[in-house]
Amino acid sequence: MTVPGYRDNPTEKWDPVAPVDPAEAEDFLRRCYVENPRLGPAEPRLAIVRAQIAATGTYAHTTEELTHGAKMAWRNASRCIGRLYWKSLLVLDRRRARTADEIFSLLVHHLRTAGDGQIRPVISIFAAAQPGRPFARVWNEQLIRYAGYRDEQGRTVGDARQVDFTAAMRGFGWRGKGEQFDVLPLAIETPAEGVRLYELPERATREVPISHPEYAWFAELGLRWHAVPAIANMRLTIGGVHYPLAPFNGWYMGTEIGARNFADADRYDMLPAVAARMGLDSSRESTLWRDRALLELNRAVLWSFERAGVKISDHHTESARFLAHLRNEEKAGRPAPADWTWIVPPMSGSLTPVFHRYYEELDLRPAFYLDDEAAAIARTGSNCPFPH
């Protein structure tokens, strides 16, 4: 399942000193209480919130508001094809955690909750940002990412996208094994402790070895991928309150791994190797060797995950389910924003029903946003608080 922000999500300028906008708080609360009649009328709650904002510049969500707000943010994510399941999101309220040790322990729990057995959508929401005060966050792009190393000849081992961030981690003292699939440590920053690095235990990093239903040699490529795609560097905003640390996951759609992580030239760039083992003619593009290799790479990913009992979805099935989501939202009288360039899968796009229509793009809140600073650190290590 594509999850919001899997690669790039719209950034939003955020002033961490500014107080909560009372109008945004009221808009969210009214919609939250309308969608959850069991909570009762919104007016008594609105009076409390207005008073809290006037006194402190912010307010605290109840557990019910936090839970529904996180689900609404997923529902509003215009770049996510898997929103049919927004109501199933498991929301873990972690707002009391303060120390890096506490946060790390809860992130490990998140990965185990999401990845043990069948993959399930989970979000862990840590403390809200307070106007004018520092806050905790994770600098990693995802809770699980593989390191990238570049040698003196310019050759890359591992994930090329992570080369600069890996260098930042190594500058902070982490070494790694220098192999293709070294799991990066988590870099957790808290106001009291600064930045601390933590190695994820194996029990939290469930992985799937990649083989092929027909080509026995495929296993010799040594490919594998982690089961849980948990986005770590996006900010959740609910009713004007910002949660800088709110990692979340869905499950993978196969093309995210097979057509992007493994196939992109600036990632693992596996198409030439697969084509060579298949004996394809790569001397000219008109042989469509890339297309043929891409298909088998994606077949291998889906087959391997299914054989391992790890939940994954193919792009045809997920496209049909997305249209079901649009019908549900239309029936509920709600807009369903979508970014065509993200909803259409990265292979066989015109064979899927999501290709043959247009969508309306809206910036609806609650929402997830990728902050400029977090994006720069996660991708390049620039402005990183680690010594180089």
Residue 155 CB coordination number (10 Å): 8
72, 73, 76, 77: CA torsion to nearest 10 = -150
Active-site choice (75, 80, 206, 318):
80
Whether 340 is catalytic = no
Q: Which of 65, 189, 207, 256 is catalytic?
A: 256
Of 31, 45, 75, 83, which is the active-site residue?
83
136 to 166, 191, 246: CA distances (angstroms) = 21, 6, 10
Give yes or no: 31 in active site: no
Phi first, then psi, for residue 60 (nearest 5°) are -110, 130
Q: How far apart are CA 126 and CA 248, in angstroms?
A: 11
Q: What is the 3-state secondary structure (H, E, C) of 97-157?
A: CCCHHHHHHHHHHHHHHHHCCCCCCEEEECCCCCCCCCCCEECCCECCCECEEECCCCCEE
Q: Which residues pair with 124 in a beta bridge?
A: 92
DSSP state letters, 230-247 = EE-SEEEEETTEEES---
Catalytic residue status for 307: no
Q: How far apart, in whole angstroms, are the C-alpha atoms of residue 357 and residue 173?
A: 50
Tell me, yes or no, if 251 is annotated catalytic: yes
Closest CA to 217 of 271, 273, 263: 273
The catalytic residue among 251, 289, 303, 342 is 251
- 13 C-beta neighbours (distance < 10 Å), count: 7
Q: Which residues are CB-contacts of 264 (< 8 A; sequence separation ≥ 6)?
A: none
The span from the CA of 288 to the CA of 294, in Å, is 10
CA angle, residues 211, 227, 166, in degrees to nearest 5 = 95
As annotated, the active-site residues are: 80, 83, 251, 256
